[in-house]
Amino acid sequence: MHQIFKSNEAGKLEELEKPERNCWINIVAPSSEEINQIADQYGIPLEFLEDPLDKDESARIERDDDTEAVLIICDFPIVDEDDIHYASFETIPLGMIMTKDYFITICTIDSSIIQSFIKNRIKGFFTHMKTRFALQILYMISTQFLRHLKRMSRQTDDIEKELHESMKNKQLYDLMGIEKSLVYFLTALKSNKLVLDKMMRQHIVKMYEEDQDLLEDVIIENRQGIEMAEVHSNILSGMMDAYASIISNNMNIVMKFLTSFTIILTIPTMVFSFYGMNVDLPLSQAPLAWILVICISFGIAGILGFVFWKRKFF
């Protein structure tokens, strides 16, 4: 599926039936036949359309000297709907292709970032300002990373409260899911940083002064996202280690209690076993011998229990 848009004189986005110069072409989850057709129709290298559709493709920027087309691949965050635990996140690539006449976006899903532009929610957006358009998308991606990082921080706080009340495997699995999301975020943000740094140093795309300012804002937002993700990752890693130690300590306390209790119960068992033998024993002829045996057994067990209590085995 692909849609064609173009900004009118009033700055509003209009959908077109046929491509025109300075239009924007949004491609979502195309088939192999559609990719070949689009590459031939718009004169774009085939790999420029195929690479952004690879989920494991790394972020990068490159230029094709023959067609003068520029490809920018960057990663953006999405919510992993298949995760059964707390809201988990992953990242997927988004491709932006700038040619002399067209601006093309291509992705495996219809992302909320692209929808923000389609629904005219972004100020100062024009399809003929291709470099500005690419930077605005990169800025939206950086801000979306920050929003999701704040959301993960709130989730971590909620899980921590649940762990204080009841430490169960579910909360630990939720923390592991958030930790995995942070790893994805850090990898994506650092890859996007390389793309932004390359755009700043090598001037692969033509920029005006306002574009330079916007690029600097994108770099700042991206750097802030990296720092926030690293802080959350360190906090979460320390929290996981702390709770692992708590669980291990609780296990030791339970084992110590059970061992002490077993030793105390062994005393009456031993006494009853001695007096259950078919031989002559002290007090065996006494009318209240069984009461004395019980008192002696539980008396020794009580003394042993008091000793263990004083030594804080319970």
Domain of 49, in residue numbers: 1-246
110, part of any domain: yes
Answer yes or no: do 99 and 185 share one domain.
Answer: yes
Residue 153 lies in a domain: yes
Residue 118 is encoded by which pair of tokens?
């389609």
Angle between helices 169-202 and 209-274 (to 10 degrees): 160
Single out the residue in 204, 229, 246 at which a domain terminates: 246
Whether 178 and 80 share a structural domain: yes
Is 209 found in the same domain as 137?
yes
Q: How far apart are CA 130 and CA 303, in angstroms?
A: 86
Token pair belonging to 294: 């019980």
Residues 269, 200 share a domain: no
CATH number of domain containing 109: 3.30.460.20
How far is it, in rounded angstroms, from Cα 29 to Cα 108? Answer: 4
Give the residue from 196, 205, 155, 202 showing the smallest Cα distance to 175: 155
Instruction: Kindly give the confidence (pLDDT) of every residue in the chain, 314 residues in length, as a single tens digit, with 9 standing for 90 and above.
Output: 789 999 887 778 888 989 899 999 999 999 999 999 999 988 899 999 999 999 888 899 999 888 889 999 999 998 876 555 556 788 999 999 999 899 999 999 998 999 999 888 888 888 989 999 999 999 999 999 999 999 888 888 888 777 776 666 677 778 888 888 899 999 999 999 999 998 888 778 888 888 888 999 999 999 999 999 999 888 888 887 887 777 778 778 788 888 888 887 787 777 777 666 665 666 666 667 667 777 877 788 888 788 777 777 66
CA dihedral of 47, 50, 52, 55, whole degrees rounded to 10: -130
The type of residue at 183 is V
Strand, helix or coil for residue 77 = strand
Identify any residues that bridge with 91 across adjacent strands, giving them in sequence order: 77
How far does Cα 79 stand from its chain's mean position? 9
Q: Looking at the structure, do residues 18 and 73 belong to the same domain, yes or no?
A: yes
What CA dihedral angle connects 260, 266, 268 and 271, to 10 degrees?
Answer: -140
Q: Is residue 21 part of a domain?
A: yes
Q: Is residue 281 included in any domain, yes or no?
A: yes
- CB hemisphere CA count around 274 (13 angstroms): 14
State the virtual CA torsion across 81, 87, 91, 95 in degrees, nearest 10: 60
Beta bridge partners of 14: 6
Shared domain for 195 and 261, answered yes or no, is no
pLDDT attached to residue 253: 79
Residue 126 CA neighbour count, 13 Å, CB half: 9
Same domain, residue pair 150 and 240: yes
Q: Which of 193, 218, 246 is the last residue of a domain?
A: 246
For residues 194 and 146, state if they share a domain: yes
Q: Is 275 contained in some domain?
A: yes
Written as six digits, the tokens of 171 are 């909360």
* Final residue before a domain boundary, out of 222, 246, 270: 246
Q: How many domains does the chain contain in total?
A: 2
Task: Output the pTM of the full model.
Answer: 0.78
203, 130: one domain: yes
Query: Cβ contacts of residue 198 below 8 Å, gap of 6+?
Result: 61, 204
- Tell me, yes or no, whether 45 and 193 share the same domain: yes
Cβ pair 80, 89 in contact under 8 A: yes
The interaxial angle of helices 209-274 and 130-165, nearest 10 deg, is 20
Q: What is the DSSP letter of 113?
A: H
Give yes or no: residues 233 and 284 share one domain.
no
User: Within 10 A of 17 (CB to CB), how many other CB atoms are there?
Assistant: 6
Please indicate, yes or no, whether residues 159 and 275 belong to a single structural domain of this protein: no
Q: Which pLDDT score, from 0 to 100, does residue 218 have?
A: 93
Give domain status of residue 314, yes or no. Answer: no
